[in-house]
Amino acid sequence: MTPAVSAQPAAAAPVIRALAPADLSAALAAGWRDLTRAPLFGLFFAGVYVLGGWMLVWALTASGQVWWTIPITLGFPLLGPFIATGFYEISRRLARDEPLDWPGVLGVILRQKDRQVPSIAAVIVVFFLFWNFLAHMIFALFMGLQVMTNISSSFEAFLTPNGLAMIVVGTLVGAVFSALLFSLTVVALPMLLDREVDFVTAMLTSLAVVRRNPGVMLGWGMLIAVLLFAGMVPAFLGLLVVLPLLGHSSWHLYTRALA
């Protein structure tokens, strides 16, 4: 027998609601309640990312082990959707007063490999690889004719006109990529868990939500960036709280965005 999947049947055309800044506050408050009601689950899923961050730092600093950065760095966008699914499933169960147990939650996450989450994970990886390629191209364009220097120890190279121009262009291009990826996935990921839809429909719906609510979703994206940066500063330990908070809050924002 095929195990039951937690997803619910989707409507033919989801109704997109208009959001207000108050919806962000309400989603964050609901996300915090979920975090405090199921802290061990949040610590477990966030701990996977924190451990990955430590491994990445180790790979970058360990002598002769730089090649480790490739699989570890790729692991972040690959694991991200599945980790997020864990937070969504916890919030979904809490909202419906369903029991929280490790076999049930982990079973739902594992079953996503047979649904649409791997497809959207592949899209995220493609975005990541293409941005990595563009970042190297931007570096070569502005710094390729400079005298060979070790930029990891000679930070003054970034204060030259070419270095400053590279930072500005790289930041702008990165912002465009981040905004596009955010728009395609902010609603798509929880939607794939909650409804039986294909990943293309989920991404188009996510994009439609952002187009309907540009100001609110811009604020949400900026808040995510600020909280993630703050969480990474103290040796990634802040992510143990930030990731569950954002994950649970994203679920509640999704339920507010779609009727």
DSSP for 17-73, written as a single string:
PP--HHHHHHHHHHHHHHHHHSHHHHHHHHHHHHHHHHHHHHHHHSTT-GGGHHHHH
pLDDT value of position 35:
96
For 17-55, the pLDDT digits (tens) are: 999 999 999 999 999 999 999 999 999 999 988 888 787
pLDDT value of position 135:
84
In terms of phi and psi (left: phi > 0; alpha: psi -120 to 50; beta: otherwise), the region of 149 is: beta
Q: DSSP class of residue 148?
A: P
pLDDT value of position 255:
96
How confident is the model over 154-168, as a mean pLDDT? 78
CA dist., res. 166 & res. 143, Å (int): 8
In this prediction, what percent of the chain has a pLDDT beyond 70?
83
pTM of the model: 0.85
Residue position matching structure tokens 């293309």: 200
Res. 5: pLDDT tops 70: no
CA dist., res. 190 & res. 168, Å (int): 33
Range of weakest confidence among 56-65, 144-153, 184-193, 238-247: 144-153
CA dist., res. 222 & res. 227, Å (int): 9
Smallest CA-to-CA distance from 244 within 225, 227, 219 is with: 227
